[in-house]
Amino acid sequence: MSKALDGVRILDFTHVQSGPTCTQLLAWFGADVIKVERAGEGDATRGQLRDIPDVDSLYFTMLNHNKRSITLDTKNPKGKQVLDTLIKQCDVLVENFAPGALDRMGVTWEHIQKLNPRMIVASVKGFGPGKYEDCKVYENVAQCAGGSASTTGFDDGPPMVTGAQIGDSGTGLHLALGIVAALYQRNTTGRGQKVLAPMQDAVLNLCRVKLRDQQRLERTGTMHEYPQYPDGEFGEAVPRAGNASGGGQPGWILKCKGWETDPNAYIYFITQAAVWKAICKVIGQEDWITEPAYATPQARLLHLKPIFARIEQWTMTKTKFEAMDILNEFDIPCGPILSMKEIAEDPSLRETGTIVEIDHPKRGKYLTVGNPIKMSDSATDVTRSPLLGEHTEEVLTQLGYSADDIAALRSERVI
């Protein structure tokens, strides 16, 4: 089967998480991704959070599948020449260096344009133009600056970061979309272009509903689906909403049987208006179907805390999976709080290729998250991440370097 991005060649100058997420996706769609790393060291994540001594970490392997790795000292003039050759022969350069690093290497937009006007140059940076544009940024900085931390957590606690890597992987996803759009536009213009995905902007895009709420709050002074309503107070800015649903259908996380010992014995329960009658029947509170204080969605907003407390009395008599089975029979929207252990063992996720077992020559078997985007005409086969410099000779040969050239570059420590 052919792949969506067959024939697209990516010069992958990314490291850590945000950029590698992007190029891994492009590789899964069929692009030839050539990861350029520093000889001897490589991407810093190869050595970070290691669980096996001297073996590429899971941090690295899980972000760099389906790529080829070459080592190259791009600050050496001969290494720079090799880089120029790559620029001439690739379609896209993807990078997430600190601001200015590419320019300091001599790889300016103008330089790239001269060598290959069709090249798309795609960058992740922490911030877009403005007062923080020169800052180095990691995941949680972006979560804080993009509005996620101030709106996550409970009202009586500090701002909180989330485990979902919306700053890194979230931005990588945004960048991948920008690259594919730029490749599409190049079909008609014949030109490359710069694509920038700042991490702050990507996080804010994912926090769009909170900017919605900021404006609702400014206009009305209150938001009825927030736990601050009706007894608490609202300030000037969108408050932390705990586990409130954030949409028009109130929801909360409720304890299930075993919660005293199992930190994940919980269920997310949504009191969708369409199934209110069914909810009342399931929990044995049928009088709430007609009682004016509970009968309408508007009336219920005044009583969400006692409503969820009553539903929790019922969920605590069931395991989260028993509760799921019963609630699903009545189309009541709910979701189990799944631990990573439970997800890793989930047969459906394995069947769809979202959880994949990979064999690595040095670490043996490990689990990874495969391509979450499923295409009917471009299947994803996840292959292991490359060892450092595993493909240096293969790629240089394809670029037209002879065995003698390659030996010379190696002896001069350029590769």
Tell me which residues are annotated as active site: 168
**Phi and psi torsions of 20, nearest 5°:** -60, -30
Region near ligand CAO per CB under 6 A, out of 135-143, 229-237, 328-336, 389-397:
135-143
Asked if residue 74 binds ligand CAO (CB under 6 A), the reply is: yes
Burial class (CB in 10 A: 0-12, 13-18, 19+), 247: exposed
DSSP per-residue string spanning 219-286: HHS--TTSTTTTTS---SSPPP-TT--SSSS-EEEEE-TTTTT-TT-EEEEE--GGGHHHHHHHHT-G
Considering only 70-78, 262-270, 294-302, 352-360, which stretch makes contact with ligand CAO by CB under 6 A? 70-78
Q: How far is the CB of 75 from ligand CAO (least distance, A)?
A: 4
C-alpha to C-alpha distance for 233 and 254, rounded to whole angstroms? 24
E strands present in 111-256: 120-125, 194-198, 251-255
- Mask for 151-190, x = binds ligand CAO (CB under 6 A): -----------------x----------------------
Please tell me whether residue 64 binds ligand CAO under the rule CB under 6 A: no
Interface with ligand CAO: number of residues (CB under 6 A): 24
Could you tell me which stretch among 92-100, 208-216, 310-318, 367-375 binds ligand CAO (CB under 6 A)? 92-100
Pick 75 or 374: Cβ nearer ligand CAO? 75
Is the CA virtual torsion 1, 170, 357, 55 positive or negative?
positive
Contacts of 100 (CB under 8 A, 6+ apart): 134
Q: Which residues, in sequence order, are CB contacts of 375 under 8 Å at separation 6+?
A: 4, 29
Nearest residue (CB) to ligand CAO, 15 versus 240: 15
Q: Which of residues 357-396 bind ligand CAO (CB under 6 A)?
A: none
Q: For residues 98 and 171, what is the distance between their CA atoms, to the nearest angstrom?
A: 15
Binds ligand CAO by CB under 6 A, chosen from 104, 114, 208, 413: 104
- Rule CB under 6 A: is residue 101 a binding residue for ligand CAO? yes
- For position 86 contacting ligand CAO by CB under 6 A, the verdict is no
- Any contact of residue 145 with ligand CAO (CB under 6 A)? no
141 versus 280: smaller Cβ distance to ligand CAO: 141
Does 119 bind ligand CAO (CB under 6 A)? Our answer is no
Exposed / middle / buried, residue 333 (Cβ in 10 Å: 0-12, 13-18, 19+)? middle
Distance of alpha carbon 17 from its chain centroid, rounded? 9
Among 2, 6, 7, 75, binds ligand CAO (CB under 6 A): 75
**Alpha-carbon distance 240 to 210, whole Å?**
10
| Closest approach of ligand CAO to the CB of residue 18, in Å | 4
Task: Please choose, out of 133-141, 181-189, 334-342, 386-394, the segment that lies near ligand CAO by the rule CB under 6 A.
Answer: 133-141
Q: Tokens representing 283?
A: 């929990």
Sheet containing 251-255, strands listed edge to edge, beginning at the edge strand earlier in sequence: 251-255, 266-270, 334-336
Interaction of residue 73 with ligand CAO, rule CB under 6 A: yes
Q: How far is the CB of 402 from ligand CAO (least distance, A)?
A: 22
| Candidate list 12, 84, 91, 139; residue touching ligand CAO; CB under 6 A | 139
Site for ligand CAO in 21-40 (CB under 6 A): 36, 38
| Rg for the chain, CA atoms, rounded | 26
84 binds ligand CAO (CB under 6 A): no
Can residue 105 be called a binding residue for ligand CAO (CB under 6 A)?
Answer: yes
Binds ligand CAO by CB under 6 A, chosen from 29, 59, 60, 97: 97
How many CB atoms are located within 10 Å of the residue 218 CB? 11
The rounded distance, in Å, linking the Cα atoms of 303 and 281 is 18
As measured in angstroms, the least distance from the Cβ of 15 to ligand CAO is 7
Q: Give the whole-angstrom CA distance, residue 9 versus residue 272.
A: 47
Q: Which helix (H) or strand (E) holds 328?
A: helix 320-329
Stretch 4-23: interaction string toward ligand CAO, x if CB under 6 A: ------------xxxx----
Q: What are the residues binding ligand CAO (CB under 6 A)?
A: 16-19, 36, 38, 72-75, 96-98, 101, 104-105, 124-126, 136-139, 168
